[in-house]
A and B are shown apart, each in its own frame.
Chain A
Amino acid sequence: EDQVTQSPEALRLQEGESSSLNCSYTVSGLRGLFWYRQDPGKGPEFLFTLYSAGEEKEKERLKATLTKKESFLHITAPKPEDSATYLCAVPPSGGTSYGKLTFGQGTILTVHP
């Protein structure tokens, strides 16, 4: 069965203090890895898809990278508006995971001015 673990559970940063969020995954065959941003009381908003080790995607202050066992979401010089919960997820790799997307528990990011 597919598994996704995110760390840390919560991260508090000062504005401008760069850091990284981690997403470790265990799947029988990776068909992609998704990163989402979720604001309180709202649905997750899609950020990136990564498909193979070594791939990188960037959007404003966010950069997502992928290795064979984990993905990182790097946040460079964050601003208070980057505060949100960041989720990673993997599509089903087959077997008992058929049809089911597996989400991590999320990292709650708070950026203080």
Chain B
Amino acid sequence: EAQVTQNPRYLITVTGKKLTVTCSQNMNHEYMSWYRQDPGLGLRQIYYSMNVEVTDKGDVPEGYKVSRKEKRNFPLILESPSPNQTSLYFCASSFAEDQPQHFGDGTRLSIL
């Protein structure tokens, strides 16, 4: 089954404790992206990747890091999480940036 898999689905943690949200896709997609979704603000792009080893900032990259060492994986790293990063996060992938994206089921992060 074609899918984008995110882990964990839910996480409650504390300020400053490094965390990684994993994302994996099995569709051989070139393009991958991370979004956060907050009430009243809609979906905002954090980082995206056009291909392996090619990443770039989206609209809200501050406080986040990403890497793309393999085509299928695109982890999101919060080096020193803060409460304002409490949000619902989505990973997405597509064949190219002008093709419709497939989304994961989301990761709900709470930073205390």
Contact = CB atoms under 8 A, between A and B. Distances in A.
Contacts of A104: 42
Contacts of A91: 97-99
B45 A100 contact: yes
A100 B59 contact: yes
B43 A43 contact: no
A99 B98 contact: no
A49 B98 CA distance: 10
Q: Mostly helix, strand, loop or mixed at chain B's interface?
A: strand
Interface residues of B, number: 24
Given A43-B105, A99-B56, A100-B48, A92 B97 contact: yes
A43 B104 contact: yes
Interface string B94-110: 00011111111110100
Interface in A68-107: 87, 91-92, 99-101, 103-106
A101 B97 contact: yes
Interface of B: 4, 33, 42-43, 45, 48, 50, 56, 58-59, 88, 90, 92, 97-106, 108
29 contacts: A32-B98, A41-B108, A42-B105, A42-B106, A43-B104, A43-B106, A44-B43, A44-B90, A46-B100, A46-B101, A46-B102, A49-B100, A87-B42, A87-B43, A91-B97, A91-B98, A92-B98, A99-B48, A99-B56, A99-B97, A100-B45, A100-B58, A100-B59, A100-B97, A101-B45, A101-B97, A103-B43, A105-B42, A106-B42
